[in-house]
Amino acid sequence: MTFPSGLDVVRGLAPGCTGFFRFGRNTSIGLTYAPVTRSGFYRTPQASAATALRIKAGGNANDTANGSGARSITLVGLNSSGDVISETIATAGASASEATTQTFMRLTQAFVASSGTYASQSAGSQAGAITIENAAGTADWALIADGTLGKGQAEIAVHTTPRTKSAVIMNLTVSSDSDKKANIVLFKRENILQTAAPYSPMLMVLELPQSSGLIDLQFNPPLHFPPLTDFGFLASVSSSTVDVAIGMDIMEFIPR
């Protein structure tokens, strides 16, 4: 069997296959291992603890349903059955938004769905940082960073395969401060719907100790992750803090 090319996948010539690029960054990796995500979190509750999500209070007043900033946000993830779900919620300025009607066990993407600004290099699609939290307001789940120009989407170098798809990482780009040594680990945890011990373990797939600067890796055969598997990157540093960014070329496909 010939593995389809990335071009065939994006052209829709490989039924059942989906290709995408997943990018994550954490600008303040510290002494303790943390996910390479802009928020510093990748929430992994068990299925029984799936939760509705909302936009956290404290955002910019212009990020509102009729404002000049982000007017709505789309959330994509998995429900308690491991099926892909998505929902778009209206922003509410400095107030918390309404909660999603669906409950999320994983949140793999969050992005600006509509904006009051025709964006350019000097005017982004959001007015300020946008934090996604659980509906109870007790735990942050993701961050769409602002900075000098709104990012427009959360930066999450972690993914979870749905129950109907396997995934592979074909290419990997790692970037970290050149004057510091980051310890970077790719992990996986299978069978995320397990409800009682013994649980499948979290296993290291790849370790990049004492990393600095830019690293490009290609995998042949690609790194494989079966359905219902968390996989992604954690990083730490021996002193101070380090800025780490990860890019992954991922393909999902229906397993045989």
Q: Which one-letter DSSP state was computed for residue 73?
A: E
pTM for the model: 0.94
Q: Is 140:133 a contact under the CB 8 Å cutoff?
A: yes
Neighbour-count burial of 114, counting CB atoms closer than 10 A to its CB (0-12 exposed, 13-18 middle, 19+ buried): middle
**Percentage of residues of the chain with pLDDT beyond 90:** 86
Interval 169-186 mean pLDDT: 94
| Average confidence score pLDDT of the chain | 94
pLDDT higher than threshold 90 for residue 173: yes
Q: Is 131:56 a contact under the CB 8 Å cutoff?
A: yes
pLDDT, residue 6, reads: 73
- pLDDT tens digits for range 104-124: 999 999 999 999 999 998 899
Q: Which of 59, 35, 175, 58 is nearest to 112 (CA)?
A: 59
**Hey, CA dihedral for 61, 62, 64, 67, is it positive or negative?**
positive
- DSSP for 178-223 reads TTS-EEEEEEEE--TT--SSSPPPEEEEEEEEEE-EEEEEEEEEEE
* 10: enclosing H helix or E strand: helix 6-10
Q: Is 67:125 a contact under the CB 8 Å cutoff?
A: no
